[in-house]
Amino acid sequence: MISVHDHTGLNALARRCRVDPFLVRRFRTAFHKKQFTAADALKELPSEALPLFSREVDFHPLTLATRQDSQADGATKLLFRTRTGELIESVILRIASGRTSLCVSTQAGCAAACAFCATGTLGLSRNLGAAEILDQVTQANLLLQPEGRQVRNLVFMGMGEPFHNEAELFRALDLLAAPEGLHLDPRRMLVSTVGIPDAMVRAAKRFPRLRLALSLHSARADVRERLIPVARRHSLGALREALLQAAALQGELPMIEYLLLRDVNDTAADVLALGEFLRGMKAHINLIPYNAIHGPAPFGATDPARRAEFAAALREQGFTVTTRYSLGADIAAACGQLARVTAGQTPPPIPATA
């Protein structure tokens, strides 16, 4: 079958049944930009082309298994089943400003095994294909259509380390930006990585407008390696070099994400190490309060007073510091909480942190 996102394949199909290219463009616009269902988009084609397009075009490689709407904020967690049976999650984020973002997954599970992350407890099932990455956006748009909303911003912060699936990630980014498809501005897409230096530089080179974020979480090698096991393979020095190269290619430094964990990476020594690591860089540090994952919480959250001190100490050194308040904590959709929940099953309660 031909993916509805494969524009070359669709053009070849159209030539086979001699469809006017104008009508193929109308079909694409209806599906990708006007949030038409597959059945309605097909009506834009001449009737003689319908059997072939219905049979040969793959509109949805994912099946929506469940949706959970937050009672506390504007988050909706979508649980999808792949054709090979894996369950993956995406999160719609209705931001108070009116923007709509989608947090997408790039892998079913994740091999990175970060100590603070629910997905990391699952191990890796497999990489997602580009069509599966894009279908998360298409299906979110279909659900948002009755609300008059459309996904405007994409964050690659769902299940998986995006750069462990680099080829399909890059294909998906190309297709997302394609004028024939969703035509999303790469400035509205942000790829967050635990730090694969070579891949960060390749991404910055190939997508100069793409936004990158490095989940640093500590500038002390021993602490970072405890939190992010893959850090053992990529030194802080290599990461610093990758940040500088990405900044030279893109004109701005990747955002630095820093998950605050009580007494683990929020001490005065951590501020010093972070300042030293980022010395000479115009860094934007995004502090992330910890969200407890299912089961016994392995870490505690930094209390707000210490978080404020931590931020102030970094600002004094000239860095821009913001705090990310995740949506969807009540439905286990906040940062670090995505873990496969079987369709129809209520997610386990989230343990409280101090």
Residues that bind ligand SF4 (CB under 6 A): 110, 112-114, 117, 119-120, 159-161, 194
CA distance 334 to 126: 23
Instruction: Quote the CA–CA distance of 43 and 182 in Å, as a whole number.
Output: 19
Judging by beta carbons within 10 Å of its beta carbon (0-12, 13-18, 19+), is residue 142 exposed, middle or buried? middle
DSSP 233: G
Residue nearest to ligand SF4 (CB): 120
CB of 18 to ligand SF4, least distance (A): 46
* Residue 199 C-beta: closest distance to ligand SF4, Å: 13
Distance CA 319, CA 37 (A): 46
Q: Is 168 left (phi over 0), alpha (psi -120 to 50) or beta?
A: alpha
**With respect to ligand SF4, which residue has the nearer C-beta, 161 or 168?**
161
Nearest to ligand SF4 of 14, 157 (CB atom): 157
With respect to ligand SF4, which residue has the nearer C-beta, 108 or 110?
110
Nearer to ligand SF4, 177 or 341 (CB): 341
Minimum CB distance to ligand SF4, residue 120 (Å): 3
Beta pairing partners, 323 = 287
DSSP-derived letter for residue 253 is P
In angstroms, the CA 10 to CA 55 distance is 12
- Nearer Cβ to ligand SF4, position 178 or 238? 238
Q: Extract the tokens encoding 10.
A: 């669709």
State in angstroms the smallest separation of the CB of 198 from ligand SF4: 16
- The angle that helices 304-316 and 268-277 make with each other, rounded to 10 degrees, is 40
153 DSSP β-pair partners: 101
Q: In angstroms, give the least distance from the CB of 303 to ligand SF4.
A: 23
Q: Which residues are catalytic?
A: 89, 335
Beta partners for residue 58, in sequence order:
3
